[in-house]
Structure 1
Amino acid sequence: MTDRELSGRIDPTPSALLHEEVLRPQFQYEVRALLPGYVAVEKALLAEYLRLGVLDETQARAHGAALHSIDAQTLVADPDENLSDIAFAIERHVTRLVKSPAPSWHVDRSRNDLQATAQLIAAKNRITDVVVELLRFTQSVRTVAGRTAELPMPGFTHHQAAQVITPGFYLAALGEQVLHHTRRLTATHDLLDVCPLGSGAMAGQELPWDRERLARLLGFARPQPSALVAVASRSWALETTAEMSLLGTSLSRFATDLLTWGGSGYEFIDLPADLSGISSAMPQKKNFPVLERIRGRTAHLAGYHIDMLLGQRNTPFSNLVEVSKEAGHHLVDAFSVLHSVLRLFRAVVDRLEFRADRMRAACDTDYLGGFALANALTLTADVPWRTAQVLAGRYVLGARERGLPPTTPDPDLLVSVLADAGFAVNDPAGLLTDSFDTDRALRRMTSSGSTQPDAVAAALAAQDVERERLAAWARARSEAVRQAFAETDRLLSLPEPAEESPRAI
């Protein structure tokens, strides 16, 4: 028997085809995306071996020092040396460096829970990073919303101008929706914050591992209660991509509105030249392809989720390469795309210009006060609400037929419309002026959450509080992982890193 043998069941050398098509790409991916987690898991297990008396302090420290030396350049996929498997590559690296490797190192171990734990460590870090990016994005949104809360613009329902709103009101809605998705991502993180380590291949392990301690040393809130769930389930990956897909759907809708408002039919917004595009054939055009890119990339998030969902569907509930590796192939891509979407969208928001003249003109030339007129008829003339709606509609129709803009009220027309239905008002001119005045339309709204500037300011202030709460959550989760890894290193008497430990990218 040679030291290079890793299995007594099969020829230990995989075929060149398997190495090139499957094993080497998977190895490179895991080194790039999961290596910090793999090393942290190996260290935590060393600390447990030491507690259990399986290894003595000298052995644990020697193996720990070898693990501590691993970085992305240390490991190479080698079908002869390590079967192009990252776990075997780590094992080979340690046994080469340690003068007398302990025979009991890696006793009662499985790659199944090792891999599941490394994947979850990376996923938790990535979710925390996304939360931080989302909070940066909502801060940019909040800044623009605060300075545009008194600029009138048309709000649309069913693709038709409906009521007077402001960019600040609209952007406050964007901020609120993104914070909603951020809260859901933090909840997803905390639900998947369960440690698989100590579950073995599927049925548990023979040594009395302290799984609570292992979870703590790796920055998890608790161990996964079921050994089978720990190694078989990747529902956490589906839940994570589902949340990113939902977030992308919401962002796509806001991007659609900006695309519409930037079109030649409205020209409510503008972007600087370095975020804009041109037509190769129509020199008069100024395009906004960055918004198309944002909207297009949000589709990838839904696609990645469906890909992972189908990859797990109809598979046995056990540890499978099909589920643990193939079905999760695009998880890193999903995170990368979401970061790209947020960076691009944040750049758009930071440099977005709302054209106040175009927006006000659109408000002043459309009868956006029909709802207000109907309310006033009911409250001042006792016109039944549904009847008031009908009469307000008749006035608007008649004024349009006469070619009158909302800024030119026709009190005689209103008197005639009301008289035909058996009603009258004391001040028809004042009623019309108040109902169709663009600025009064903003101040008229009194309910919380409305477009009234003070209500927008209150909503933004509440979002500031929530943003700080979520930022504290992100800081706490990052610090928990950092302290856990540092505690493990102290238990093994390993030196503190010169800089922050690498995170999964």
Structure 2
Amino acid sequence: MSHASPPTSPQTWSQRFETALHPVIATFNASIGFDIALIEYDLTGSIAHAQMLGHTGIISPAEAEQLVQGLEQIRQEYRQGQFQPGIEAEDVHFAVERRLTELVGNVGKKLHTARSRNDQVGTDTRLYLRDQVRQIQTQLLEFQKTLLDLAAQQVETLIPGYTHLQRAQPLSLAHHLMAYVEMVQRDWERLEDGYKRLNTSPLGCGALAGTSFPIDRVYSANLLGFDRIYTNSLDGVSDRDFAVEFLCAASLIMVHLSRLSEEVILWASEEFGFVTLRDSCATGSSIMPQKKNPDVPELVRGKTGRVFGHLQALLVLMKGLPLAYNKDLQEDKEALFDAVNTVKSCLAAMTILFQEGLEFRTERLAAAVESDFSNATDVADYLAAKGVPFREAYNLVGKVVKTSLAQGKLLKDLTLDEWQALHPAFAEDIYAAIAPRQVVAARNSLGGTGFEQVRQAIATAQERNHTLLAQAHTLLAQTGRLS
């Protein structure tokens, strides 16, 4: 079929109209250029609808079987590249119905009995997003596993911890990575929670008011694997909360990927020098041969904005729409499709980056935690443990940091006499207490950076990840992964 020629005769509703759409308006009105992405879901939903029509006796079982066979043939034609509807089809729904009628004759015209494009597109979009959510959840778990594997290798590697981008306290590198493991877990849970509302069938809501035909909405919902049906037809055809919820969750996924990307970009700079970018995940400069550019995290950071934009666009789209369906809702799809594709591509790229694209410079990291005052809090904690009120200890340490800076010394360089001149509670064990490895090990409170806490956190998260990932792969195998 041609992709270029506009319609030259009236469309399906033409008995109401005397002339066809103006060619420019026809092009402006058409959505086939992007909603073709829904074709497999449209076919799946139409098959369930045809089966329901036969089940209820609205059409004969033989007619229902003809429709199902014709729809499956269209699926094969599409997969083989033989069915490529153009602008004259207006949208994927008309394209499928027209081709079906060509294949099975007048019985094809019965497919749309007791159904509107309004509930049809709502069904298709939910089927599409339901599938994509499961794929993204699996990608999240794969990325989480990558972070967990890396964290397990880096428990005793130290890295400076920052607040306000100023050196604060030393950390286990694994503890730093585990913070993102927790973010990814919340991302997975948000999608799982949204799936409960997403998996609701609008099929049978009709244009806005239901239908006079004796349909069985629960039957078709069960065929499609929906958990429930919309109980208000107006709401069913006009609800896009599920899409907004997904875009909210997608935006937070991108927030977390972008934050991690920013850290990689900093770590790879000469000023930090904490990681080296491997050739497989870095690019060069067209003019400066010495450079390795962190394009992957930079692109992820940049693509975050477009997902945010899609969320804002859909919120603005929805805020003024009266019930029920309005053509404005055609605009939900490009935003949704692009957000899905962006999140999936960013997760894939970041997984590869952390699997094979980074090498932590452990010597540079070790030197970094030895060359600052990030152990100052531990001096105050040392005094507090010996009975000195913490605020008094805090002020004393502030003075010694100021003096040490003026003298060009670090705390580890002070003599025992200098410590004891500050306060008689100091003893020889102060040096062990402020050594970076001991500083990290000592923070063994629940959720802290102490090595034992981190190992336990990794073990717990690995067990959870293993269980969820096995379930995710089973779900994908069962649903067939329509992409």
* Same-fold call, TM cutoff 0.5: yes
Distance change (3 Å), C-alpha of 1:283 and 1:49: closer
Q: CA deviation at 1:231?
A: 0.4
Q: Is the 8 A contact 2:56 2:216 kept in 1?
A: no
Residue identity opposite 2:22 in structure 1: S
Counterpart residue number, 2:338 = 333
From 74, 79, 83, the counterpart of 1:74: 83
Alpha carbons 2:115, 2:203 under 8 Å: kept: no
Cα deviation for residue 78 of structure 1 reads 5.8
Q: Hey, what does 2:448 align to over in structure 1?
A: 450
C-alpha distance 359-4 of structure 1, shift in aligned 2 (>3 A): closer
Query: What is the CA–CA distance in structure 1 between the aligned matches of 2:247 and 2:26, rounded to whole Å?
Result: 29
Give the structure, 1 or 2, with the largest relative contact order (CA under 8 Å, sep 6 or more): 1
Contact kept, 8 Å, 2:45 with 2:123, in 1: the verdict is yes
Report the counterpart of residue 17 of structure 1 in structure 2: 24
Rounded to whole Å, the distance in 2 between the matches of 1:313 and 1:411 is: 68
Q: Percent identity?
A: 26
Map 1:261-280 → 2, pairs under 5 A: 261-280=267-286
Cα distance, 1:284 vs structure 2: 4.1
Structure 2 equivalent of residue 203 of structure 1: 209
SS of residue paired to 1:225: coil
**In the aligned structure 2, how far is the partner of 1:70 from the partner of 1:463?**
45
2:444 touches 2:451 (CA, 8 Å); kept in 1? no
| Match in the other structure for 1:289 | 295
CA distance in 1, matches of 2:337, 2:108: 36
Letter matched to residue 371 of structure 1: T
**Per-residue displacement from partner, 1:438-479 (whole Å, max 9, x unpaired)?**
111121111122212221121112212332343355356546
Contact 2:208–2:233 (CA<8 Å) still a contact in 1? yes
Cα separation, 1, equivalents of 2:335 and 2:382: 57
Secondary structure in structure 1 of the residue aligned to 2:86: coil
1 CA distance for matches of 2:438 and 2:369?
Answer: 12
8 Å CA contact 2:55, 2:61 repeated in 1 = no
Distance in 2 between residues matched to 1:213 and 1:93, nearest whole Å:
26
Retained in 1: the 8 A contact 2:258–2:301? yes
Check 1:115–1:151 CA distance in 2 against 1; reply closer, same or farther (3 A cut).
Answer: same
Distance 2:205 2:417 in 1: 83
Counterpart amino acid of 1:413?
E
User: Which secondary structure state, in structure 2, belongs to the residue aligned with residue 252 of structure 1?
Assistant: helix
For residue 16 of structure 2, give the secondary structure of its aligned residue in structure 1: coil
Is 1:93–2:99 an aligned residue pair?
yes
Partner SS state of residue 277, structure 1: coil
- 1:141 Cα offset (Å): 0.8
1:387 maps to 2:385: no
In structure 2, the residue matched to 1:313 is 319
1:39 counterpart letter in structure 2: L
Q: Find the counterpart in structure 1 of residue 67 from structure 2.
A: 63
Opposite residue 76 of structure 1, the aligned amino acid is: P
Q: Report the Cα offset of residue 181 of structure 1.
A: 1.0
Q: 1:281 to 1:92 in 2, by over 3 A?
A: closer
Quote the Cα distance in structure 1 between the aligned partners of 2:267 and 2:109.
69
SS of structure 2 residue aligned to 1:123: helix
Structure 1 residues 290 and 85: alpha-carbon distance in aligned structure 2, compared to 1, 3 A threshold? closer
Show the counterpart of 2:465.
467
Q: Any conservation in 2 of the 1:75–1:89 contact (CA below 8 Å)?
A: no
Q: How far apart, in 2, do the equivalents of 1:93 and 1:282 lie?
A: 56
- Aligned-pair CA distance for 1:428: 2.5
SS of match in other structure, 1:70: helix
Is the 8 Å Cα contact of residues 6 and 12 (structure 1) preserved in structure 2? no
SS of residue in 2 equivalent to 1:153: strand
Q: What letter is aligned with 2:67?
A: H
Distance 1:379 1:102 in 2: 82
From 28, 34, 46, give the equivalent of 2:38.
34
User: Which residue in 2 is equivalent to 1:164?
Assistant: 170
Selected match of 2:199 from 170, 173, 193: 193
Q: CA deviation at 1:400?
A: 2.6
Count of residue correspondences = 469
- In the TM superposition, what is the alpha-carbon distance from 1:156 to its structure 2 partner? 0.6
Residue type matched to 1:101 in 2?
A: V
- SS in structure 1 at match of 2:83: coil
Do residues 226 (structure 1) and 232 (structure 2) align?
A: yes
Q: Which moved more, 1:237-246 or 1:389-398?
A: 389-398
Distance 1:318 1:252 in 2: 37
Structure 1 runs of 4+ off > 6 angstroms?
none
2:15 corresponds to: 8
Per-residue deviation at 1:160?
A: 0.8
Contact in 2 for aligned 1:154/1:163 (Cα 8 Å): yes
**Displacement, 1:364?**
0.9
Matching residue of 1:125:
131
Per the alignment, do residues 471 and 284 of structure 1 end up closer, same or farther by CA in structure 2, a change over 3 Å counting? closer
Identify the residue that residue 486 of structure 1 maps to in structure 2.
none
Q: How does 1:434-445 map to 2 (within 5 A)?
A: 434-445=432-443
Partner SS, residue 428 of structure 1: coil
Is the contact between residue 183 and residue 470 of structure 1 (CA under 8 Å) also seen in structure 2?
no
Structure 2 CA distance for aligned equivalents of residues 86 and 173 of structure 1: 43
Structure 2 counterpart of 1:38, one-letter code: D
SS in 1 for 2:325: coil
Q: Distance in 2 between matches of 1:462 and 1:27?
A: 47
Deviations 1:264-315 (A, max 9, x none): 1110111112322334444444332222112111121111111222222212
Question: Letter of the aligned partner of 1:398 in structure 2?
Answer: T
Q: Which moved more, 1:332-341 or 1:3-12?
A: 3-12
Go from structure 1 to structure 2 and tell me whether the alpha carbon gap of 1:117 and 1:170 turns closer, same or farther (over 3 Å shift).
same
Distance across 1 between alignment mates of 2:217 and 2:398:
70
Gaps of 5+ in 2: 1-8
Question: Aligned-pair distance for 1:107?
Answer: 2.6
Show CA shifts across 1:14-70 (max 9, x none). Answer: 3221333441xx113222x11111111211111111121122222211121111101
CA distance in 1, matches of 2:110, 2:367: 80
Distance between the aligned counterparts of 2:338 and 2:447, measured in 1? 37
- Whole-Å Cα distance in 2 between the matches of residues 209 and 11 of structure 1? 34
CA contact (8 A) 1:113 1:230 kept: yes
Cα 1:123–1:5 shift into 2, 3 Å: closer
Compared CA separation, residues 274 and 104, structure 1 to 2 (3 A): closer
Conserved? CA contact 1:27–1:86, under 8 Å: yes
Q: Does 1:348 align with 2:353?
A: yes
